């Protein structure tokens, strides 16, 4: 009997020591080690290979299926590709429905009262009431679109606060044959969506791989990090809305970092950041995270700017679904990174496409072409030169890896306190 007790005690001591060691080994990290692994893990070759697959003619512009037709064939191929790449990475666990990497959803995008946008499940459950600055164009109750699609999600468990999550995300879908695109004369032609958002998807794959490499070197952030590849963004942020309201893991999301159109932009360095309805206030609203963003933007040679407020960027990408899903007294910081647009070129192109719509004489000469939701959103131009700046995309993937790592390891941002006066002045939804 005494022998058995001794064995039990010895085993308990060994197990306790092992877990204490494991915790210690994971808890402390040297940022130089992190940087070295980040530097080795993210490669331009892999970024390009992934881009070429996602934005290929075969992917047909990655359309989202409708409730009537079921998920599109292309979305099944793309999500299978993402799952295959991610499931073999050590340390990554599935973060979709029922312990799988997928989360299926069927949603109607409807217009609610008071210019709200109300994504509603096929069964009639209103998931969210999003502020919709452009919903005044539609009548209450109008159905804008329906979507049958899926999210892909994995996570890496945090070393100290595994039930708190930082979500790193990118939408993988695009507008298919461009019926809702900006060049009506090209409806029916594949809109490859290389920048929107094969760029963010490819970057996020590299980031997930990097966190797996860090894990294999016993380096983990304190909180867990989710890698979310969302569907149906182009139908109204629907995949993100679904994930935010039907979060499949137990615990709490504390911050969201979304990446949408991050490989092209006006130049090689300027980067838009949006995290509040009034963009230029972002730094003061997220002081803890802003510290990291400032530091690493200098290191990776990015200049952080706000998109023009009149573009309503805050309401137009997936991060807003998470902001909106968090209760007013427990808001979470939800950030969007996007390469800065050439606004002169965009406005000139917008004017030309307006003329085409109204059958006025218009010629979109090559100088006026813009890539946003057009057939010119390709990896290569007609001369075979790269449209996507691989060096920029590489730095972006490295940059957000560091931001996510530190956000997940640092103090929890007190966003409610930061937003208090914003709510008082009723500038918030
Ligand atoms: Zn996008």
User: What is the reported pLDDT for 427?
Assistant: 44
Output the CA 292–ligand 1 centroid distance in Å.
25
Reported pTM: 0.91
Output the CA 109–ligand 1 centroid distance in Å.
17
Contact 189, 183 (CB under 8 A): no
Distances (CA, A) of 146 to 68, 107, 180, 193: 8, 6, 14, 20
**pLDDT at residue 7 greater than cutoff 70:** no
Output the CA 194–ligand 1 centroid distance in Å.
10
Output the CA 234–ligand 1 centroid distance in Å.
7
Distance, in Å, from the CA atom of 306 to the CA atom of 281, rounded to the nearest integer, reads 9
Output the CA 274–ligand 1 centroid distance in Å.
14
Average pLDDT over every residue of 332-352: 92
Output the CA 315–ligand 1 centroid distance in Å.
12
**Of 72-86, 177-191, 215-229, 358-372, which gets the smallest average pLDDT?**
358-372
**Of 104-108, 222-226, 262-266, 311-315, which gets the smallest average pLDDT?**
311-315
Contacts (Cβ under 8 Å, ≥6 apart) of 230: 151, 169, 170, 171, 172, 173, 239, 240, 243, 318
Q: What's the sign of the alpha-carbon dihedral 146, 152, 157, 158?
A: negative
Which one has a higher pLDDT value, 401 or 354? 401
User: What is the reported pLDDT for 25?
Assistant: 43
Which one has a higher pLDDT value, 139 or 280? 139
Alpha helical stretches, state H, 367-411: 390-409
Residue 17 pLDDT level (bands cut at 50, 70, 90):
low
Domain locations along the chain: 30-103+149-424
Distance, in Å, from the CA atom of 85 to the CA atom of 393, rounded to the nearest integer, reads 19
| Nearest one of 190, 203, 192, 171 to 79, comparing CA atoms | 171
Q: Centre a 10 Å sphere on the Cβ of residue 161 and count the other Cβ atoms it contains.
A: 18
Average pLDDT over every residue of 391-414: 94
pLDDT digits (tens, 9 = 90+) for 137-190: 899 999 999 999 999 999 999 999 999 999 999 999 999 998 877 777 788 899
Ramachandran class of 236: left when φ > 0, alpha when ψ lies in -120 to 50, beta otherwise: left
User: What is the reported pLDDT for 50?
Assistant: 98
Output the CA 354–ligand 1 centroid distance in Å.
21
310: exposed, middle or buried (Cβ count in 10 Å: 0-12, 13-18, 19+): exposed
**Which one is the CATH code of 30-103+149-424: 3.40.50.720, 3.40.50.11690, 3.90.226.10, 3.40.630.10?**
3.40.630.10
**Of 201-205, 256-260, 286-290, which gets the smallest average pLDDT?**
286-290
Output the CA 198–ligand 1 centroid distance in Å.
9
Distance, in Å, from the CA atom of 83 to the CA atom of 79, rounded to the nearest integer, reads 6
pLDDT digits (tens, 9 = 90+) for 294-331: 999 999 999 999 999 888 899 999 999 999 999 888 88
Output the CA 373–ligand 1 centroid distance in Å.
9
Average pLDDT over every residue of 329-349: 92
Contacts (Cβ under 8 Å, ≥6 apart) of 423: 328
Average pLDDT over every residue of 224-234: 97
User: What is the reported pLDDT for 385?
Assistant: 96
Output the CA 218–ligand 1 centroid distance in Å.
34
Q: What percent of the chain has pLDDT over 90?
A: 71
Indicate the average pLDDT of the chain: 89
Q: Quick one: which H or E segment has residue 106? A: strand 102-111
Output the CA 34–ligand 1 centroid distance in Å.
29
Residue 14 pLDDT level (bands cut at 50, 70, 90):
low
pLDDT digits (tens, 9 = 90+) for 46-62: 999 999 999 999 999 99
Output the CA 233–ligand 1 centroid distance in Å.
7
Residue 281 pLDDT level (bands cut at 50, 70, 90):
confident
- Our CA dihedral for 121, 127, 129, 135, rounded to 10 degrees, sits at -20
């Amino acid at each position: 009997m005494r022998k058995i007790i001794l064995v039990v005690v010895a085993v308990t001591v060994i197990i306790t020591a092992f877990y204490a060691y494991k915790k210690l080994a994971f808890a402390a990290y040297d940022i130089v080690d992190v940087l070295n692994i980040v530097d080795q893990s993210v490669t331009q070759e892999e970024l390009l290979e992934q881009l070429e697959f996602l934005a290929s003619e075969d992917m047909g512009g990655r359309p989202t299926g409708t409730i009537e037709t079921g998920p599109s064939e292309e979305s099944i191929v793309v999500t299978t590709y993402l799952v295959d790449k991610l499931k073999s990475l050590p340390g990554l666990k599935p973060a979709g429905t029922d312990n799988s990497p997928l989360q299926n959803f069927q949603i109607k995008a409807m217009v609610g009262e008071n210019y709200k946008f109300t994504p509603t499940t096929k069964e009639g459950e209103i998931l969210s009431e999003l502020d919709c600055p452009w919903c005044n164009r539609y009548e209450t109750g109008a159905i804008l679109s329906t979507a049958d699609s899926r999210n892909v999600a994995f996570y890496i468990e945090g070393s100290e606060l595994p039930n708190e999550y930082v979500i790193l995300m990118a939408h993988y879908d695009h507008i298919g044959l461009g019926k809702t695109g900006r060049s009506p004369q090209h409806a029916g032609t594949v809109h490859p969506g290389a920048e929107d958002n094969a760029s963010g998807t490819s970057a996020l794959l590299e980031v997930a791989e990097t966190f797996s490499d860090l894990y294999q070197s016993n380096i983990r952030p304190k909180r867990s990090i989710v890698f979310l590849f969302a569907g149906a963004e182009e139908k109204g942020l629907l995949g993100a809305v679904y994930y935010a309201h039907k979060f499949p893991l137990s615990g709490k999301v504390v911050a969201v970092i979304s990446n949408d159109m991050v490989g092209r932009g006006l130049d090689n360095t300027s980067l838009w950041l949006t995290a509040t309805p009034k963009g230029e206030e972002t730094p003061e609203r997220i002081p803890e995270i802003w510290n990291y963003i400032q530091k690493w933007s200098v290191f990776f040679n990015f200049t952080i700017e706000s998109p023009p407020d009149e573009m309503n960027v805050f309401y137009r990408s997936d991060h807003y679904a998470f902001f909106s899903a968090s209760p007013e007294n427990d808001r979470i910081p939800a950030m969007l990174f996007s390469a800065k647009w050439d606004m002169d070129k965009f406005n000139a192109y917008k004017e030309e496409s307006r003329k085409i719509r109204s059958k006025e004489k218009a010629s979109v000469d090559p100088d006026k072409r813009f890539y946003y939701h057009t057939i010119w959103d390709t990896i290569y131009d007609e001369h075979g030169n790269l449209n996507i700046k691989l060096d920029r995309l590489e730095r972006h993937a490295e940059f957000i890896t560091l931001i996510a790592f530190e956000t997940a390891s640092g103090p929890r941002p007190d966003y409610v306190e930061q937003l208090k006066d914003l709510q008082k002045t009723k500038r918030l939804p």
